[in-house]
């Protein structure tokens, strides 16, 4: 359990420092540790919630969140996340989808960030359509979806980097809550009790790691280096998961 808590701490620190929750990597780490795959999305989504709730509040208080666009994206994704959580999935398909998602997410972290308020590309108007499949994937495998959404928003110059980070944080928060509701309706609330009881040390680890990541990491290390480390961690865990399967 000690190595797993340390891995969760490091994951939360890195992911929070670039505005994400880390749910996909939490699920993969639990899978590599040999836990029941039905428990993975529940505990990962719980960890997501405790990591991003603080950053979402801070973005809102600082008036960084672009509410009109952010609420449109989350409003489209949330019902899909709930349906994803409800969808039955076999263990092999779950691990395959999770591993591929992790590798793809790691590659997306290398997408350059839009640090200015430049004019959005024409394709940017269709971005809300992507929120629906991202929401579904979030609920299905226990991720927040922000790690996929943010690079897409940067590619189309949807808004400034800070506004995109705030949007991704809210997106993860809402998707995690709706995906968790779907998972519990599918597998029963007893899974929540089991996840909360077993996962309390892991949730403490991600709370501490997430706070350090969001408050200190970007002040101590270059953002590009942190994103590269996060990408490497994500792809390594995804590859390990696929090879183990």
Contact criterion met (CB below 8 Å) for 230 and 213: no
State the chain's maximal CA–CA distance in angstroms: 49
Q: What DSSP letter does each residue of 112-171 carry, written as one string?
A: PP--S-PPPPGGGGGHHHHHHHHHHHHHHHT--SHHHHHHHHHHTT-S-HHHHHHHHHHH
Q: Give residue-wise pLDDT tens across range 92-151.
A: 898 898 889 889 888 887 877 655 555 667 777 788 899 999 999 989 988 888 888 888
d(CA 245, CA 241): 6
Checking if the pLDDT of 194 tops 90, the result is: no
Q: Give residue-wise pLDDT tens across range 204-241.
A: 888 888 877 767 655 666 667 777 877 888 888 888 88
d(CA 169, CA 146): 7
Q: How far is CA 209 from the centre of its chain?
A: 15
DSSP summary character for residue 222: -
Checking if the pLDDT of 182 tops 90, the result is: yes
User: Both tokens of residue 138?
Assistant: 């979030």
How close are the terminal C-alpha atoms of the chain, in Å? 22
pTM metric for this prediction: 0.86
Checking if the pLDDT of 70 tops 90, the result is: yes
Say how many domains are in the chain. Answer: 1
Contact criterion met (CB below 8 Å) for 176 and 49: yes
Maximum mean pLDDT: which of 163-172, 191-200, 230-239: 163-172
User: Both tokens of residue 241?
Assistant: 């998961």
Q: Domain residues for 136?
A: 2-7+15-244
Contact criterion met (CB below 8 Å) for 147 and 101: no
What integer pLDDT is reported at residue 235 of this predicted model?
Answer: 87
User: Both tokens of residue 166?
Assistant: 């705030």
């Amino acid at each position: 359990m000690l190595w797993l808590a340390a891995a969760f701490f490091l994951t939360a620190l890195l992911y929070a420092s670039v505005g994400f929750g880390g749910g996909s990597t939490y699920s993969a780490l639990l899978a590599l540790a040999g836990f029941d795959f039905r428990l993975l999305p529940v505990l990962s989504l719980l960890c997501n919630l405790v990591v991003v709730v603080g950053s979402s509040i801070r973005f809102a208080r600082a008036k960084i969140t672009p509410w009109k666009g952010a609420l449109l994206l989350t409003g489209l994704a949330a019902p899909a996340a709930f349906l994803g959580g409800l969808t039955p999935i076999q263990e092999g398909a779950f691990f395959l989808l999770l591993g591929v998602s992790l590798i793809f997410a790691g590659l997306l972290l290398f997408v350059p960030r839009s640090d200015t308020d430049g004019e959005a590309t024409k394709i940017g108007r269709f971005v809300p359509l992507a929120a629906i499949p991202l929401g579904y994937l979030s609920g299905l495998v226990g991720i927040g979806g922000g790690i996929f959404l943010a690079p897409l928003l940067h590619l189309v110059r949807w808004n400034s980097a800070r506004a995109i980070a705030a949007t991704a944080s809210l997106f993860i928060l809402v998707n995690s809550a709706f995906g968790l509701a779907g998972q519990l309706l599918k597998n029963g609330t007893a899974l929540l009790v089991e996840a909360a009881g077993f996962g309390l040390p892991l949730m403490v680890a991600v709370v501490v790691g997430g706070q350090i990541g969001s408050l200190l990491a970007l002040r101590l290390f270059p953002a590009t280096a942190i994103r590269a480390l996060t990408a490497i961690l994500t792809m390594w865990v995804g590859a390990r998961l696929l090879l183990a399967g």
